[in-house]
């Protein structure tokens, strides 16, 4: 499932894996195992429940989820038909600069927002990125790990933009509510 980076020009080490959920999920329903050594980003379709920190989110929505190796979580599937994608990577997969910053990103930090409910358009955008990862991963392209890091970064930016949109819409709601009160 994982491949260690070999012969990469930057001499980065680390593990990376990407897969379709329907190819690896063995059981019909149930909880996922938590791998404490890896960061994970998943695009999960179907009814699910995520438990992380003191929060739980459940529903039939398509979600983009981010888990870091330092935060306990469980992911529970509530139905048999599960589709989606997941990429898993160890901290050394990223450059030293990104390794220093990754835990400060809102989706990976303690108390952050690791679960994002997607629209159909966002689902398509995220799925397209995962498909490109799946196509690139087995290649012999010399700079493929640079490219795979860029794809992971695109997923991070997709979620960051969603968080900014959520904040902006809440500000707009607050502004509109105040405007109606005056």
Structure-model confidence comparison of residues 160 and 52, the more confident one: 160
pLDDT at residue 20 tops 70 = yes
Average pLDDT, rounded, for the chain: 78
Least Cα distance to 43 among 121, 136, 142, 155 occurs for: 155
Cβ 15 vs Cβ 93: under 8 Å:
yes
Averaging pLDDT over each range in 14-28, 50-64, 87-101, which range is the top one? Answer: 87-101
Q: Helix axis angle, 120-136 relative to 144-181, nearest 10°?
A: 170
Cβ 94 vs Cβ 14: under 8 Å:
yes
pLDDT digits (tens, 9 = 90+) for 137-148: 999 999 999 999
Cβ 54 vs Cβ 72: under 8 Å:
no
Positive or negative, the CA dihedral 77, 80, 118, 100 is positive
Please count the other Cβ atoms lying within 10 Å of the Cβ belonging to residue 155. Answer: 22
Structure-model confidence comparison of residues 69 and 58, the more confident one: 69
Least Cα distance to 31 among 8, 48, 54 occurs for: 48
Q: Across residues 15-42, what is the average pLDDT?
A: 73
pLDDT at residue 123 tops 70 = yes
The domains located in the chain, with CATH, are: 16-24+33-173 (2.60.120.280)
Least Cα distance to 5 among 102, 133, 143 occurs for: 143
pTM: 0.79
């Amino acid at each position: 499932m994982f491949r260690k980076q070999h012969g990469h020009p930057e001499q980065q080490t680390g593990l990376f894996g990407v897969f379709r959920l329907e190819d690896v999920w063995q059981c019909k329903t149930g909880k996922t195992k938590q791998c404490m050594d890896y960061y994970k980003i998943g695009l999960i379709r179907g009814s699910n429940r995520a438990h992380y920190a003191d929060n739980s989110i459940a529903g039939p929505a398509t979600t983009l989820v981010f888990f870091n190796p330092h935060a306990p979580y469980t992911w529970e599937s509530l139905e048999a038909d599960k589709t989606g994608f997941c990429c898993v990577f160890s901290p050394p997969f990223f450059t030293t600069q990104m390794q220093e910053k990754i835990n400060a990103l809102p989706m990976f930090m303690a108390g952050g927002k690791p679960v994002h409910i997607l629209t159909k358009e966002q689902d398509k955008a995220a799925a397209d990125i995962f498909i490109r990862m799946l196509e690139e991963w087995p290649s012999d392209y010399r700079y493929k790990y640079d490219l795979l890091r860029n794809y992971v970064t695109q997923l991070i930016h997709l979620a960051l933009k969603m968080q900014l949109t959520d904040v902006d819409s809440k500000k707009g709601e607050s502004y509109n509510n105040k405007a109606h009160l005056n």
